[in-house]
Structure 1
Amino acid sequence: MARGDLTDEQWVRLEAVLPELPVMGRKPRDRRQVFDGIWWRARTGSPWRDVPERYGPWETLYSVFRRWQIDGTWARILGKLPLKADTAGHIEWEVSVDSTICRAHQHAAGARKRGIHSGGQGSQGLAAEPDDHAIGRSRGGLTTKIHLAVDSSFHVLATAVTAGQRGDAPLFTEVMNRIRVPRPGGGRPRTTPIHVLADRAYSSRQIRKYLRRRQISHTIPEKRDQAGHRRRRGSAGGRPPGFDCEKYKTRHAVENRIGLLKQARGIATRYDKLAVRYEATIQLALIRQAL
């Protein structure tokens, strides 16, 4: 067992939710070996061709990674892990939302713009390869932004990937709508947190109205220009939104989770050309860290 590979205890947990390898015209390889090889590539950020031979042919590893992205296997595996955590009472449903920018390597650029076919379902059952491949150009170069919703126990409940220049607030509703934790006894998955924390980037009337409509309490600081505009209007400006400074301190959970996620070099720097592949790499990292 090499550094970073699954331990026996971790493999027992993963084996219960990991499907059989797809048939590719030859004798199937060991699932544990294949998973460790795919994870080695995500952990190191190495090209697929440089994966050590002990994990088998790199073509096999990439083929399995690609097929499981296309048919939504990575998303399904990741969806089953929060179910076990919720059953054990580990998910606390106090959710923090934030985003982080990751540099896109030059090898991530160059995917064709027309006629692209994502090959199936992306993260959380959403099918789509965006026209810009979720790569934005700014002063810092090519960047991609990862949006996350994390509970106070560091469980990642939802993710979304956009171009680096995209704002946080416009993606808030989509990230919240992607929270879907299956219930142990079946039925509709749980989608509603009891409380949401976010920074000033999410301070808008639309977001507060959305949370009130879903009856979700929130702790979001008001922007200075919004506060000044409200005071200038006098009584017509209404009351300031409630804000609990002590409660806001618990928002560090999402910041810490972002730091942990970026320990995988294949996440901290994007090497995947397609957004759906990069999103699958994020799902793989979340699966591995959940173990």
Structure 2
Amino acid sequence: MDHFWLTDEQFAKIAPHLPTDTRGKERVDDQRVISGIVHVLKSGGRWADAPREVYGPKKTLYNRFVRWAAKDVWVGLFETLAQSGGPPAQVLIDSSAVKAHRCASGGKGGNKTKPLAARAVGARPRSTRSPIGSDARSSSC
């Protein structure tokens, strides 16, 4: 299994933008934790799937990710790295495209209504029809 690890040069670029206002217990190695977070995000796996012997405890990875997300640290890092230039392939984090038919976003499609069993017997309808009517609806899908 391939493990992601920030190089010293990469970490040197982002280190000045990391928060330093921590209190209490000293933080564990930022380079190790950030490498673990990137590994989990790149692999699409769970926090528990990050190898403990490489990146440390899964709880540390998750907590650091969530806390820094609340402080907008990740947004600041991304903006800083994006403004520094370089090939776009190294700036993009994720990109995906899914093709779908133009009607895929709608419901069942069509403007056919299925009568309820109670109506077939002659019961009074529970709701009224829309004043717009079926003429205004598109029949393209």
In the superposition, the TM-score normalised over structure 2's length comes to: 0.54
Name the residue aligned to 2:97.
Answer: 100
Distance in 1, matches of 2:47 and 2:12, equals 26
Q: Is the 8 A contact 2:4 2:36 kept in 1?
A: no
Deviation at 1:61, TM superposition (A): 0.8
Name the residue aligned to 2:38.
Answer: 39
Counterpart check, 1:51 vs 2:50 = yes
Q: Give me the CA root mean square deviation.
A: 3.4
Distance in 1, matches of 2:21 and 2:15, equals 12
Cα distance 1:10–1:74, how it changes in 2: closer, same or farther (>3 A)?
same
Distance in 2, matches of 1:22 and 1:50, equals 27
Cα distance 1:7–1:21, how it changes in 2: closer, same or farther (>3 A)?
farther
**Residue identity opposite 2:55 in structure 1:** Y
Q: Is the 8 A contact 1:4 1:40 kept in 2?
A: yes
Gaps of 5+ in 2: 89-94, 107-141
Deviation at 1:66, TM superposition (A): 0.5
Q: Secondary structure at the match of 1:46?
A: coil
Distance in 2, matches of 1:3 and 1:57, equals 15
Superimposed CA distance per residue, residues 35-59 of structure 1 (whole angstroms, 9 cap, x where no aligned partner): 0110111111111112111211111
Counterpart check, 1:60 vs 2:60 = yes
Name the residue aligned to 2:20.
Answer: 20
Deviation at 1:22, TM superposition (A): 4.6
Identical amino acids, percent of aligned pairs = 29
Distance in 1, matches of 2:46 and 2:8, equals 27
Q: Is the 8 A contact 1:33 1:55 kept in 2?
A: yes
Where do 1:1-291 residues align within 5 Å? 3-20=3-20, 22-23=22-23, 25-53=24-52, 54-85=54-85, 100-101=97-98, 165=105
Name the residue aligned to 2:133.
Answer: none
Distance in 1, matches of 2:75 and 2:36, equals 19
Gaps of 5+ in 1: 92-97, 103-137, 140-164, 167-291
In the superposition, the TM-score normalised over structure 1's length comes to: 0.28
Max radius of gyration: which structure? 2
Q: Which one scores higher on RCO, CA 8 angstroms, separation ≥ 6?
A: 1
Distance in 2, matches of 1:76 and 1:30, equals 20
